A and B are shown apart, each in its own frame.
Chain A
Amino acid sequence: MSPILATLLQGIFILAVAPFAMGLVRLCKARLQGRLGASPLLPYYTFATLFKKQMVISNATSWIFRAVPFVVLSTSVILAFVLPLLFVGGKLASLSDFLFVAGILMIGSIFLVLGGLDTGSAFGGMGSSREMTIAALVEPTIIMVFVAMSFVSGTFAIDGMIGGQLISSHPYLILSIFAFFLATLAENARYPLDNPATHLELTMVHEAMILEYSGTYLAMLEYASAIKLTIFSILLASFIFPASVFAAAGLGFSSMILAFLFGILKVVVMMGLLALLESTIVKMRFYRIQEFMSVAFFTALAGMLVSLFSSSIHMKMEYHTIFGALAVFFVVLLFGRARSFAMVRYYALSSLSIAGVALGLSFIYPDEKEHLWIFALVTILIKVILVPYVINYVQKNFKDFIKAPSFLKPTSSYFVIVAILGVTLFVMKHTPIVGIVSFDALLYVSIALIGIGLATMIIHRNILSQILGLLIMENGVTVFTLVTVKSLPLLIELGVFVIIVASAFILSVLGLRIREFHGSSDTEELRSLTE
């Protein structure tokens, strides 16, 4: 099948499926909220009706008002034809250079903003200024995501980035994918940045800009946003599962049908997940989007730096290294926190990363696979779910379990962490044992975890920090087990886990009693037995 045909078919498919996608999101959200919801084919009728309606256009507008719907719709349509959504290597594939794509998106955004400003209404101006803020913050993230992928795949075209099987061999791209997911939410005006179904003007961002449009123009703008949503979701799904996108050249009729089916499947799954997400989280207040965008920015930055690092030094990064680094990262975050729920949550995330380390190791040692998988599963059950539950349950009556500060302010705590990590690296480089044990990175992770756990116990003055410090140390010993012995007999592992849960429980109960007797959870008060 020729590339021209592939590109045409892909474009037509996207244009046809877009309203269905939008309707599907609304249906899933309705079902999750306990309503029946309208049929997913309703948007087709809506657009058809809107196209036939008469438009009402204010006298105070200029030519821009009339140009905006055409520009915005054409940018979306161009992207539908250019990006590798169903087929890779279509005729226009060379146009899918990521700067070009980012530029097209920008043109669409700019004209939409101008359209909101053009009428001179208050709400339009408000929507435009909000949209410009979001766009300014999301643009660097998108660029960095694609830069990271271009380092890995060696090409600037998005077509080439999907063509290579990236994720399985470069696990750090998960960071970039996560950042791209957050940027998708921002670009398409979904939760938690914007509510596409709101009727309250003060909560609108995207809707405020198209408030003055009616009839055909409104249909074009809504159709454009539906197409953009479909494109982004299929692109995200293709990044995660690049095997579902077929090469355009040399395809038969059956593969074409298969590609269409895959396309529909991706749309359905992504829209379902989007509906689930929108039903679970709340829309943020506008001034808090900078936190959201900074998370996206830093994740994209981390992914870009790691891919730059690994491509220039030709170091192979394995899954277990990434998860090990994540485990240390979460513990570092825990060290600077002062709220009990946040600290316990970071501990749970760090334990989840350790389960990920075990999974990563199971790819390297296929004969120990079941052992490592069982270990990962039990780790998740016990350390991610049970232990935090036990700790939170015991101290649920004392929500202010953390009131006493640590010896150090947060900034100096981070200096201490950096010092510990540096000293660990130095010690490891100079002791002869390092050459004997394989997996230097994991050994470093385990020693760093033990060191940080000890520091948490000593430096932080409150009871929960000492409990968490002990648990972090035991996590470090667990990673050490994975490094050296790979897997212990099942009975012993179960015994170790029982011991960990029992210690967490006993420590929490004791901590509670101390808090009852002493009135605070400051361990400086535990000084009555001195000499």
Chain B
Amino acid sequence: MTPIITIILLLIASACAFFLKKEKQILLSSLVAAFLGSFSVFAISLPVLFGFSHYWNDGFWLLDGFSALMASMVAFLYLTASIVSYRYIGKEFEEKKISLADLKLYFSLLHIFALCMILTVVANNSLLLWMTLEGTTLSSTFLVGLYRKKTSAEAAWKYIIICSTGISLGLLGVLLFGYGTSLGGVEGGGMFTLTSLFRNAHLISPEIVKWAFIFIFIGFGAKLGLVPMHIWLADAHSNAPSPISGLFSGILLNIALYGIIRFRFITDLALGNSDWSSRLFLFFGFVSIIVPAFMMLVQKNYKRMLAYSSVEHMGIITFALALSPLGAIAAVIHMIGHTLTKSALFFGAGEILLSYQTTQTAKVKGLLKKAPYTAILFLFGILAIIALPPSVLFVSEYTIFTAAFAMHPILSLFIFLALSVIAYSMLKSTIDMFFPAKEDEQQPQQKEKWNVSHWVMAVQLLLVVGLTFFLSSGSGFSFVDSIAKDAIYISK
């Protein structure tokens, strides 16, 4: 049950995109490859997720509940992003905004990017995890800088510099974990395998564990977009093509958090309880919710607005992880919900960009008349992301506040205020886009056609609503609990 089939499939897909000559062939081959690749991952992960197979690991690969959940989400998002890319990049190529060379670069890098993401969440060897995480940064740099514009190059530059610096610091942490176990007597391959680290965590001295986790937290946190290492996030997510932005906000940030969570589990096992690491998570999570609230009020670019919203949601998940064990369950639910909703929003933003050719909110007017399907789906997405019921984010935020008001009342009050501010600004920007400007322009509008992006957005939003009902029931709750139990928090 190793992911070797996925590796081969995606490598072949990338090679196809590189070697094929015609645009139609590349688009079709990438679409087919995306289907095959994601189904191969589903074949491995879904049985484990729903309890039909047992948790499984060997020296290189680890497939327990949490890995299976993340792998399924990566595969799902890879599939939807490829479908949206088929439409989006195809349209941009028709409009001559990107050349054939750029198209080939996009699709070959897309498959490698997806491959690195999938391998990160199923890796058992911590060094392999680190390598594939760095691989995601490297393979996605040119995806961010795809357009030949000043702002794209700048965004890609900030992205790679800050994320590579962070991940190098993360390597220090990984090495310290390995060194700590070697001092405790573990030899050879066991130093760097996650499962053996889980088993032998009690052998590591607390000093080393604390330093190691701080390095990993700061390093991977830069990739996660925690304040104050978030300065690359708004630029990169807003200047990348929309399907890539959807992938970034939807799943890449979650993967960085996955790395932090795995190492946090080792830290908690070594220290005995989760108090020390919770303090770190609390502080950074809190700051990461407050700062985007300020930035959101002055946003003039709807893609940047969505990017700052990603920072805020990652802050919420981090804050939730400080409140284990109830917070851990809420964090998992929030991760699932944010993935589905934010990617749908970015796909919708891509549609708006295609219609209006600009990302300035002020210049987008009359969306309701010009592109009604996009407008309605986008509005539903925004309502979901600000945690209005029946969005699944409502379930998770409700759970978080239940735990938070009990433990940290004042902080929760501030977070509540910040969330309200964010909700207001996002809604205001969105509604401003809907209606035409004061002067009533009577231009002959082309009727917008319902295309694949709308299908994708609709499916994701329906999933969001469906999951609400499932996860707020008892069986859903215990399902998430079984995933989070011995991977995120230590069960007593």
Chain A residues with CB under 8 Å of chain B are 431-433, 436-437, 450, 454, 457, 463, 466, 470, 473-474, 477, 480-481, 484-485, 488-489, 492, 495-496, 499, 502-503, 506-507, 510-511, 513-514, 517-518, 526, 528-529, 531
Would you list which residues of chain B between 368 and 414 have a CB under 8 Å from chain A?
A: none
Set A488, A507, A531: member contacting B295, Cβ < 8 A: A531
Inter-subunit contact A484/B178 (CB<8 Å): yes
Chain B: interface secondary structure? helix
List 26 A-B residue pairs with CB atoms under 8 Å apart, sorted by A's residue number: A432-B207, A433-B211, A436-B205, A437-B179, A450-B172, A457-B165, A470-B164, A470-B165, A474-B168, A477-B168, A480-B175, A481-B175, A484-B179, A485-B191, A489-B127, A495-B127, A499-B135, A499-B138, A510-B141, A510-B157, A514-B153, A528-B151, A528-B154, A529-B154, A531-B295, A531-B299
Counting chain B CB atoms within 10 Å of each CB, the highest count among A432, A526, A528 belongs to: A526
B148-187 interface code vs A (CB 8 A; 1 in, 0 out): 1111011111101100110011011001101100110000
Distance, CA A507 to CA B155, complexed state (A): 13
Give every chain B residue within 8 A of A499 (Cβ-Cβ): 131, 134-135, 138
Q: Is B208 an interface residue (CB 8 A)?
A: yes
Q: Is B9 an interface residue (CB 8 A)?
A: no
> Closest residue to A463 on the B side, CB-wise?
B157
Inter-subunit contact A506/B165 (CB<8 Å): no
> Closest residue to A529 on the B side, CB-wise?
B235
Give every chain B residue within 8 A of A437 (Cβ-Cβ): 179
Query: Besides the contacts A436-B183, A507-B160, what 19 more A-B pairs have beta carbons closer than 8 Å?
Result: A436-B208, A437-B179, A457-B161, A470-B161, A485-B178, A485-B191, A492-B127, A492-B131, A495-B131, A499-B131, A499-B138, A503-B164, A506-B138, A507-B161, A510-B145, A510-B157, A526-B157, A529-B151, A531-B298
B contact residues, total (Cβ < 8 Å): 47
Give every chain B residue within 8 A of A457 (Cβ-Cβ): 161, 165
Inter-subunit contact A473/B168 (CB<8 Å): yes
Distance, CA A526 to CA B161, complexed state (A): 13
Known: A484-B175, A485-B179. A503 touches B160 (CB 8 A): yes
Inter-subunit contact B150/A510 (CB<8 Å): no
Inter-subunit contact B176/A484 (CB<8 Å): yes
Counting chain A CB atoms within 10 Å of each CB, the highest count among B155, B160, B189 belongs to: B160
Give every chain A residue within 8 A of B239 (Cβ-Cβ): 529
Q: Is B128 an interface residue (CB 8 A)?
A: yes
Inter-subunit contact B142/A506 (CB<8 Å): yes
Q: Tell me the smallest distance from the CB of B135 to a CB of chain A, in Å.
A: 7
Set A470, A488, A495, A506: member contacting B141, Cβ < 8 A: A506
> Closest residue to B238 on the A side, CB-wise?
A529
Q: Tell me the smallest distance from the CB of A125 to a CB of chain B, in Å.
A: 60
Give every chain B residue within 8 A of A492 (Cβ-Cβ): 125, 127-128, 131, 192
Give every chain B residue within 8 A of A450 (Cβ-Cβ): 169, 172
Distance, CA A101 to CA B448, complexed state (A): 96
Q: Tell me the smallest distance from the CB of A463 to a CB of chain B, in Å.
A: 8
B296-321 interface code vs A (CB 8 A; 1 in, 0 out): 00110000000000000000000000
Distance, CA A275 to CA B149, complexed state (A): 54
Give every chain B residue within 8 A of A514 (Cβ-Cβ): 153-154, 157
B127-146 interface code vs A (CB 8 A; 1 in, 0 out): 11001001100100110010
Q: Which 9 A-B pairs have the closest CB atoms?
A: A484-B179, A517-B150, A526-B154, A529-B235, A492-B127, A513-B153, A495-B131, A514-B153, A477-B171
Give every chain A residue within 8 A of B178 (Cβ-Cβ): 484-485
Would you list which residues of chain B between 273 and 310 have a CB under 8 Å from chain A?
A: 295, 298-299
Inter-subunit contact A510/B153 (CB<8 Å): yes
> Closest residue to A515 on the B side, CB-wise?
B153
Give every chain A residue within 8 A of B165 (Cβ-Cβ): 454, 457, 470, 473
Inter-subunit contact A526/B158 (CB<8 Å): yes
Distance, CA A9 to CA B239, complexed state (A): 81
B87-130 interface code vs A (CB 8 A; 1 in, 0 out): 00000000000000000000000000000000000000101100
Distance, CA A431 to CA B176, complexed state (A): 15
Inter-subunit contact A506/B160 (CB<8 Å): yes
Chain A: interface secondary structure? helix
Q: Tell me the smallest distance from the CB of A378 to a CB of chain B, in Å.
A: 16
Q: Tell me the smallest distance from the CB of A202 to a CB of chain B, in Å.
A: 52
Q: Tell me the smallest distance from the CB of B214 to a CB of chain A, in Å.
A: 11
Set B150, B164, B207: member contacting A436, Cβ < 8 A: B207
Distance, CA A495 to CA B123, complexed state (A): 15
Distance, CA A99 to CA B451, complexed state (A): 92
Give every chain A residue within 8 A of B161 (Cβ-Cβ): 457, 466, 470, 507
Distance, CA A450 to CA B172, complexed state (A): 10
Inter-subunit contact B175/A485 (CB<8 Å): yes
Counting chain A CB atoms within 10 Å of each CB, the highest count among B134, B189, B239 belongs to: B134
> Closest residue to B141 on the A side, CB-wise?
A506
Distance, CA A502 to CA B175, complexed state (A): 22
Q: Tell me the smallest distance from the CB of A222 to a CB of chain B, in Å.
A: 60
> Closest residue to A492 on the B side, CB-wise?
B127
Give every chain B residue within 8 A of A528 (Cβ-Cβ): 150-151, 154
Q: Tell me the smallest distance from the CB of B225 to a CB of chain A, in Å.
A: 15
Give every chain B residue within 8 A of A518 (Cβ-Cβ): 150
Give every chain A residue within 8 A of B155 (Cβ-Cβ): 529
Give every chain A residue within 8 A of B299 (Cβ-Cβ): 531
Distance, CA A33 to CA B387, complexed state (A): 80
Inter-subunit contact A488/B127 (CB<8 Å): yes
Inter-subunit contact A470/B168 (CB<8 Å): yes
Q: Tell me the smallest distance from the CB of B412 to a CB of chain A, in Å.
A: 28
> Closest residue to A493 on the B side, CB-wise?
B127
Counting chain B CB atoms within 10 Å of each CB, the highest count among A480, A529, A531 belongs to: A529
> Closest residue to B212 on the A side, CB-wise?
A433
Give every chain B residue within 8 A of A466 (Cβ-Cβ): 161
Give every chain A residue within 8 A of B168 (Cβ-Cβ): 470, 473-474, 477
Distance, CA A495 to CA B134, complexed state (A): 11
Give every chain A residue within 8 A of B179 (Cβ-Cβ): 437, 484-485
> Closest residue to A484 on the B side, CB-wise?
B179
Distance, CA A470 to CA B171, complexed state (A): 13
Distance, CA A502 to CA B137, complexed state (A): 11
Q: Tell me the smallest distance from the CB of B435 to a CB of chain A, in Å.
A: 25
Distance, CA A79 to CA B99, complexed state (A): 76
Give every chain B residue within 8 A of A433 (Cβ-Cβ): 207-208, 211
Distance, CA A531 to CA B292, complexed state (A): 11
Q: Tell me the smallest distance from the CB of B375 to a CB of chain A, in Å.
A: 26
Distance, CA A289 to CA B410, complexed state (A): 71
Distance, CA A531 to CA B305, complexed state (A): 11
Distance, CA A206 to CA B205, complexed state (A): 68
Q: Tell me the smallest distance from the CB of A35 to a CB of chain B, in Å.
A: 52
Distance, CA A528 to CA B150, complexed state (A): 9
Distance, CA A436 to CA B206, complexed state (A): 12
> Closest residue to A506 on the B side, CB-wise?
B141
Inter-subunit contact A502/B235 (CB<8 Å): no
Distance, CA A106 to CA B125, complexed state (A): 66
Give every chain A residue within 8 A of B153 (Cβ-Cβ): 510, 513-514, 517
Give every chain A residue within 8 A of B183 (Cβ-Cβ): 436
Q: Tell me the smallest distance from the CB of B129 to a CB of chain A, in Å.
A: 11
Distance, CA A187 to CA B135, complexed state (A): 55
> Closest residue to A527 on the B side, CB-wise?
B154
> Closest residue to B127 on the A side, CB-wise?
A492
Distance, CA A529 to CA B164, complexed state (A): 20
Inter-subunit contact A480/B131 (CB<8 Å): no
